[in-house]
Amino acid sequence: MFCSGAIGDEGPSEASVIARGLRDTVAADRLVLDEESRDTLQTARAAADYARANGIARCVACTDNWHQPRARMLLRLFGVRTAGARLEHGHRPAKRRARAYVREALALPYDAVAGAWALIRR
């Protein structure tokens, strides 16, 4: 399981928080922590590099429902076929949920271009 996310303004890395949340259900030696990636594009690239290096052709993208399309698009762009895992994080206020969907709608085309540019530069 590839857990990704750098340290934010303070506290532990997002990757280590994810790993801590999984410790009762996933053996520690099955967790891979990417504590360098600071955004979805970096995470997708790191995950794809890891998948390629380990002969993994398909993965399950575990992220918020509103974030699935962008995360999966980037992984596919970097050569990894995906399935999505439906994740619910409890009740969120409608305004906050709407803001997340708008942000993703704007970020998806941006990351499509940025991801394609990253492939070209490679």
pLDDT of amino acid 89 = 66
Which amino acid appears at position 99 of this protein? R
Helix (DSSP H) and strand (DSSP E) numbers for the chain: 4, 4
DSSP states along 2-58: EEE--B-SSSSBHHHHHHHHHTTTS-GGG-EEE-S--SHHHHHHHHHHHHHHTT--E
pLDDT of amino acid 108 = 95
Instruction: Give me the helix-helix angle, 40-53 and 68-77, nearest 10°.
Output: 50
pLDDT of amino acid 35 = 97
- The rounded distance, in Å, linking the Cα atoms of 53 and 51 is 6
- DSSP-based three-state secondary structure for 84: strand
Which tokens belong to 24?
């009762």
pLDDT of amino acid 21 = 93
Q: What is the pLDDT along the chain (122 residues), one digit of tens a residue?
A: 999 999 999 989 999 999 999 999 999 999 999 999 999 999 999 999 999 999 999 999 999 888 999 999 999 999 999 998 877 666 678 888 889 999 999 999 999 999 999 999 98
Residues in the chain: 122
